[in-house]
Amino acid sequence: MTRAYPLSEPVANRLDPAFAEVGPVSRVRLPYGGDAWLVTGYDDVRGILSDGRFSRAAAVGPDTPRMSPEPPGGGSIIMADPPEHTRLRRIVGRAFGARRVVSLRPRVTALLTALIDDMEEHGPPVDLVAAIALPLPTLVICELLGVPVDDREKFRGWVDPILSTTAYPPERVREALDEFSDYVCDLLDARRETPADDLLSALIHAHDEGGDLTDLELVTLAGTLLVAGHDNTANQLANSVYALLAAGSWPLSGDVDSAVEELLRTLSVGAGVSLARRATEDVEVAGVRIAAGDAVLVSLPAANRDRRVFADPDTLDLGRADNPHLAFGPGTHHCLGAPLARMELREALSALGHRFPGLRLAGEVEWKSGLLARAPAALPVAW
């Protein structure tokens, strides 16, 4: 039996309960590109994401099963396999490493303090998305890459259409992609004229001097880092505050690191499934034969609720001791920005809890819809 995906209409940021109705490997039909295998078990998901027989590079083009109208294109780090992926990851890896994240922490603290000061001066009620969750990671990634801060509102207008499933018509998605690509090209030209100690300058050097990047790779890598570097963290932060307030667990007490990991495990901030991979040979997964050429989707949120790995998986246990969640993905495509995202989440939740221990919801939460992201579009709070 082949089921349509999404399995049911999403509700807020909760994991679709219909995942419990499907087996560890099942057939689904995506809105675009046709049918694929859906894999949900923890061990199977972890195995696929670490198995070179499942290729991202082979899942490029209009026949790729997917949630969004625009098919994934080549040249992007997220659609590359080794050795190309290894080369691209090496170029940008140092910018997101543990040492760089430690050096960024004082700047993140300063940005947070300024944003929270503005929030307090405004007075309640405040939309926490507009006040903190969105501007913080946006400012951080702009500084890291060397993007003019004044442009942040401009590229925000492109991000939602680019990450759209049904919220925008396909022609608007294509238009946003073209506009954003033109913007990134102009940005790279400007940075080439005036290099600085930032990631964009490093990428330009790798292209111009080292020959390590093609023209397409330069533009797509810069654009990917700009979009992914702020949108995912912004959604996770908004989701985390909402989840803590809804659970009566605000402000955080105890181990903040443990709480952040549990929030990463339990909250669904995306479409529930990964980008597709294609099997390069016949592979058996959970007793099911996946033929060479078949598309495969894995669900990290479903894997993070696997009862064979996590005790009481549907419970938000902020002190959970053993938490080997897959929120950032294992294997080759483990999220480059994971250390930075963790640091921003820890700092933001701690600072907000310290300044506003009485934070509470102050109205109806408006949820994003028709987008790959599942998070509050607006989160009204008071204190």
Report residue 172 as tokens: 């608007």
So what's the pLDDT on residue 162? 81
Query: N- to C-terminal Cα distance for the chain?
Result: 50
The chain-wide mean pLDDT, for the chain, equals: 91
Three-class HEC string of the chain: CEEECCCCCCCCCCCCHHHHHCCCEEEEEECECEEEEEECCHHHHHHHHCCCCEECCCCCCCCCCECCCCCCCCCCHHHCCCCHHHHHHHHHHHHHCHHHHHHHHHHHHHHHHHHHHHHHHHCCCEEHHHHHHCHHHHHHHHHHHCCCHHHHHHHHHHHHHHCECCCCCHHHHHHHHHHHHHHHHHHHHHHHHCCCCCHHHHHHHHHHCCCCCCHHHHHHHHHHHHHHHHHHHHHHHHHHHHHHHHCCCCCCCCCHHHHHHHHHHHCCCCCCCCCCEEECCCEEECCEEECCCCEEEECHHHHCCCCCCCCCCCCCCCCCCCCCCCCCCCCCCCCCCHHHHHHHHHHHHHHHHHHCCCCEECCCCEECCCECCCCEEECEEEC
pLDDT band at 200 (very low <50, low <70, confident <90, very high): confident
So what's the pLDDT on residue 205? 84
pLDDT band at 12 (very low <50, low <70, confident <90, very high): confident
161 has pLDDT over 90: no
pLDDT tens per residue across span 305-352: 999 999 999 999 999 999 999 999 998 899 989 999 999 999 999 999
Query: Can you tell me the mean pLDDT for 49-63?
Result: 95
2-382: CATH topology: Cytochrome p450 (1.10.630)
So what's the pLDDT on residue 215? 81
So what's the pLDDT on residue 313? 95
pLDDT tens per residue across span 215-244: 888 888 888 887 887 888 999 999 999 999
CB within 8 A of 109, min separation 6: which ones?
Answer: 347, 351
pTM of the model: 0.92
269 has pLDDT over 90: no
Least confident range of 66-70, 204-208, 327-331, 345-349: 204-208
Domains of the chain by residue range = 2-382
